[in-house]
Amino acid sequence: MHSLITEEFAQLERKQNCDKCHEKKRACKGNTIPCNGCEKLGVPCTFLRPKLKVGRPKSKQILQFDGISTHMRKRKYSRKGCYTCKMKKRKCDEIFPQCGSCQRLNIECKRPGMDNFPQAQVNRTISDDSIESSWEMLLDYDSLLPLMDSTSGQSFNRRDKMMLSCLMKSPPSISLASQPLDPITCPSVHGMKNMSPCMSDLSEELDSKHYEETRINLIRVCETNNNCLPWKEVELLKYFIRNVSFLLFVDKTTDKFLSTVIPLCLEDHRVRYPVIAIAASNKANSYDFSNESKRDKVFYRAKAQANIILESADSGSQNLLLGILLVCVLEILEGDSLFWSIALEKATQFIQLNEGFGALSRASPLIFQLFCYLDMISSLSTCSIPHANTLQNSSNQLAWFEDDQISNSFKSKFGFKFGIAGELLKIIGNISTLSSMREARYTSVEKDKQFNLLANIIEMKLQIWTPPMGRLANEIETDKDSSLVLSSFTLAFQWAAFLRLHQVRYGYDRRNSRIEACVSIILRSIKVIDMNSDLELLMMFPLVMAGSVAVEQEDRDYIMTRIQNIKHRLRFNYISEFEKLLLQVWSSDKTEGDSVNWAKIRFFQFPGLVMF
């Protein structure tokens, strides 16, 4: 047998070490077969390793030894891996139509030559038709509830089962006060039947496959400056395209937003000034800012606000409405004034004078979704009915938040990249509405029962919430286990919402065992998420909620460190306002003790802040 092996390998390039010595990482002279090491161990001495260490052979190579087929070992790196694995720099098993890594993360698996492959066979991300039912991960809260006191934990489990049966048998509406139950969803109760085609068409359009190409083309258009704009405005537009656009909105929105808004900026100052003001504000908060950048921030912000003050709402121009909404975005990102509320009122007035809500959704779906999103997040802070609700001609003033038509409004991919979106936005909106009903709950026993009933339903919905795995998997760039990171991300947001719901129901006592458990879980979950990762930009809501009730100085220092890191990366002024809010809450320890109402401080001393 040794003579056959010697004869075969006479035609191959010899290696210095045999396979066994190479595996054991020991020196091998390789002059004779068998070598000294293999002869001593009494094992076959072979040289079957591939010649090259990188890549995979184009065809499977088989060597014949005494009639036995021996497959060569696969090489280290794959050549036909999917784009996702190559981008994450990990090995791809090349399984068709979806590799193991993409299947585990529940994301789309794309590879060379598959651009036209039917999406029904490849795409496993959350589809529009099953946005609430395609969750991959459900957390077992029976293992987490023992962190709270045992008595309350048992009542939680019994109550959840009881409320689940009540929810299945409950009518589509509940007569509680005159306000709608859900400020987030009620605008779409009666107006979404005819809008779903527009929404689905827009969802298909908002696919940013060519974001880089679009960005380069738009920068070239700005550089040509056919409209003879001032040099500084052109530079700020280019800064917005290069440095701000990918920070501002989610990936599937950025390409559509840029290709729609930037050409309008070159033609209409009502759209241009808000965009330039956002760019100037971001540039003024960067490391290399100058005094001129500070002045540009104030100057262009004033020019953008003048669009609302000087223009008439009955002009009928869609550019004016878009400019008003962009001013609202600017003011929310600044976080130091209530001008965003004035902008939304102006936008509502514009829609009322120009054919109404339905006509806007059909004519300008991007503007329609931007208006709905801004109206949603503003309701989180005002705890009041959204402006869009006044655009409906419905006699039913109480909307049940489980209506099938409502879910259509959440199929939109529009939203801040670093903000709350989707199902969680709806749940937190319900918590804000519940907060506005606290005074009414004490007027009668019946209203108090209904208040607790609604709180239990919201809590049950929150327990089964999980984030969209497809979007978050693309944000993970860490050596840690991706499932651990996603679980920690889910826990941080869930328990932050649990904390807010507990404050609405029972008060702001920091020494309560449930609040202490919430803070502990939130901080442990946040520590799993790496600093300077993309997921860190989404953690403002859990950080603020944990900071509002944190007692230990070590916890407060850690929270402030993470918030400052997010501020340095996003460079938007509203994060500085949240810093000031937490410092004000912590400075109230001496006067108010362990029951500091941070929501009251935010409402009166920091009214411009929007919790999104």
The full 3-state SS of 88-134, as one line of letters, equals HCCCCCCCCCCCHHHHHHCCCCCCCCCCCCCHHHHCCCCCHHHCCCC
- Closest residue by Cα to residue 167 from 459, 496, 448: 459
What is the CATH number for 21?
A: 4.10.240
Does residue 65 lie in a domain region? Answer: yes
pLDDT in tens, 329-383: 999 999 999 999 999 988 888 888 876 666 666 667 778 888 888 888 887 777 7
Asked whether residue 99 falls in the same domain as residue 39, the answer is: no
Does residue 172 lie in a domain region? Answer: no
Highest mean pLDDT among 41-50, 205-214, 287-296, 529-538: 529-538
Residues in Cβ contact with 131 at an 8 Å cutoff, skipping those fewer than 6 apart = 407, 410, 411, 422, 423
Of 280 and 100, the structure prediction assigns the larger pLDDT to 280
Question: Which range, of 107-121, 177-191, 595-609, averages the lowest pLDDT?
Answer: 177-191
d(CA 379, CA 375): 6
pLDDT tops 90 at residue 98: no
The answer to whether 131 touches 407, Cβ cutoff 8 Å, is: yes
Judged by DSSP in three states, 62 sits in strand
pLDDT in tens, 261-290: 899 999 889 999 999 999 999 999 887 667
Measured between its terminal Cα atoms, the distance across the chain in Å is: 73
Query: What range defines the domain where residue 63 resides?
Result: 2-71
Does residue 99 lie in a domain region? Answer: yes
Rounded to 5°, the CA angle 490-424-416 comes to 95
Residues in Cβ contact with 125 at an 8 Å cutoff, skipping those fewer than 6 apart = 106, 107, 108, 468, 470, 471
Does residue 59 lie in a domain region? Answer: yes
Asked whether residue 45 falls in the same domain as residue 89, the answer is: no
Region 162-189 average pLDDT: 32
pLDDT for the residue 410: 40
Q: In angstroms, how far is CA 56 from the centroid of its own chain?
A: 37
pLDDT for the residue 47: 81
Asked whether residue 7 falls in the same domain as residue 37, the answer is: yes
Instruction: Please tell me what DSSP assigns to residue 75.
Output: P
Asked whether residue 10 falls in the same domain as residue 51, the answer is: yes
Locus of tokens 């023992």:
146
Does residue 132 lie in a domain region? Answer: no
Of 331 and 6, the structure prediction assigns the larger pLDDT to 331
Of 33 and 14, the structure prediction assigns the larger pLDDT to 33
Residues in Cβ contact with 521 at an 8 Å cutoff, skipping those fewer than 6 apart = 144, 147, 491, 492, 495
pLDDT tops 60 at residue 519: yes
d(CA 566, CA 43): 59
Point out which residues pair with 249 in neighbouring strands.
Answer: 416
The answer to whether 461 touches 511, Cβ cutoff 8 Å, is: no
Among 28, 48, 71, which residue terminates a domain?
71
Asked whether residue 10 falls in the same domain as residue 65, the answer is: yes
pLDDT for the residue 31: 66
CA dihedral 577, 583, 589, 595 (to 10 degrees): 30
Does residue 576 lie in a domain region? Answer: no
The answer to whether 474 touches 246, Cβ cutoff 8 Å, is: no
Does residue 338 lie in a domain region? Answer: no
Among 71, 98, 114, which residue terminates a domain?
71
The answer to whether 329 touches 374, Cβ cutoff 8 Å, is: yes
Asked whether residue 11 falls in the same domain as residue 67, the answer is: yes
Q: Calculate the alpha carbon distances from 3 to 9, 39, 117, 160, 342 in Å.
A: 10, 15, 51, 76, 91
Among 94, 124, 154, which residue terminates a domain?
124
| Structural domain count of the chain | 2
How would residue 253 be classed by pLDDT, with cut points 50, 70 and 90?
A: low
Region 69-94 average pLDDT: 67
Locus of tokens 């490849």:
122
pLDDT for the residue 187: 31
Asked whether residue 87 falls in the same domain as residue 53, the answer is: no
Asked whether residue 15 falls in the same domain as residue 64, the answer is: yes
Asked whether residue 60 falls in the same domain as residue 112, the answer is: no
Q: Calculate the alpha carbon distances from 470 to 3, 464, 609 in Å.
A: 57, 18, 30
Region 426-453 average pLDDT: 87
Q: Give buried/exposed letters for 566-575 (b at 16+ CB in 10 A, else e).
A: bbebbbbbbb
Does residue 334 lie in a domain region? Answer: no
The answer to whether 370 touches 602, Cβ cutoff 8 Å, is: no
Asked whether residue 58 falls in the same domain as residue 92, the answer is: no
Locus of tokens 């759209």:
271
What's this model's pTM, rounded to 2 decimal places? 0.64
- Closest residue by Cα to residue 278 from 251, 321, 247: 247
pLDDT for the residue 477: 53
Residues in Cβ contact with 506 at an 8 Å cutoff, skipping those fewer than 6 apart = 512, 514
Locus of tokens 């009933």:
453
pLDDT for the residue 1: 47
pLDDT for the residue 216: 84
How would residue 396 be classed by pLDDT, with cut points 50, 70 and 90?
A: very low
Asked whether residue 31 falls in the same domain as residue 58, the answer is: yes
Asked whether residue 44 falls in the same domain as residue 7, the answer is: yes
